[in-house]
Amino acid sequence: MNIARRIIVALDFDNVDDAEAIVDRLGDTGQSYKVGLELLTVAGPTLATRLVGEGKDVFLDLKLFEIPTSVAGAVRAAGRLGATMVTVHAMGGSKIMEAAVRAAADFPQLHVIALTVVTSLTDTDLAAIGLSATIEEQVTRLTRLAQRAGCHGVVASPQDAALLRAELGPDMLIVTPGVTLQAEWNPPTEHARPAHPAAAIRAGATHIVIGRSLTRAPDPAAVLAHLEDELGSCQRPTT
């Protein structure tokens, strides 16, 4: 797998102009992009359609958590759009994930990725919603559930990547948000369990998602090119 496509640039913007400006500045260096709920609500499918048309990978981070019929419909819409990944909430249970996987079957490029535990949460947060499990226990439980449901991979903290790679074996995807660069322009992170991109790849992640610590850099294309070189020397073999 091309290392450039394993680095997913998060277009976490509240307007389409800023998102398109980053895409234009990255040019051929940027090969994969995350479009989340905020940008999709603001821009509709137009930007995602443009990216697909330019040969980019599009990760629709929708975090679907609905009745199975609605989830399946949203996954089919993502497939028709040309997305390469779409997220569903593993906490929605097996029926939701199985419906998503069935819906994605008609779109060979589309991978269903199950969100385990949102990376901003801590053990205390789980306890507050009535879960006695630790983050590690809950991530492991939901990962097993996602694997049995046929999902193509999971979203998890980079600090969970080594544990999950051992749990999942070599084939499933592990997508890790919460990776940050050490730089003066880097804003405070909302992720409770962050890590450097190289640490995530070494731990077994197949993809990293990087946002403001790259998109706010003075020269995002140069930072991304340097990151691709760095990760190319430490990546694990992937399917």
Active site residues: 63
Closest C-alpha to 59, from 12, 96, 120: 12
- CA atoms of 147 and 29, how far apart (whole Å): 32
CA pair distance 86, 112, nearest whole angstrom: 5
- The CA dihedral of 1, 208, 14, 78, to the nearest 10 degrees, is 50
The per-type count for the chain, helices as H runs and strands as E runs, is: 12, 8
Torsions phi, psi of 149, nearest 5? -75, -10
Q: Which two tokens stand for residue 131?
A: 């879960």
Q: What share of the chain is helix, strand, coil (3-state, %, to 5)?
A: 50, 15, 35
Nearest to 34 by CA among 222, 212, 236: 212
- CA–CA distance, 180 with 211 (Å, rounded to integer): 8
Whole-number Å distance between alpha carbons of 3 and 41: 29
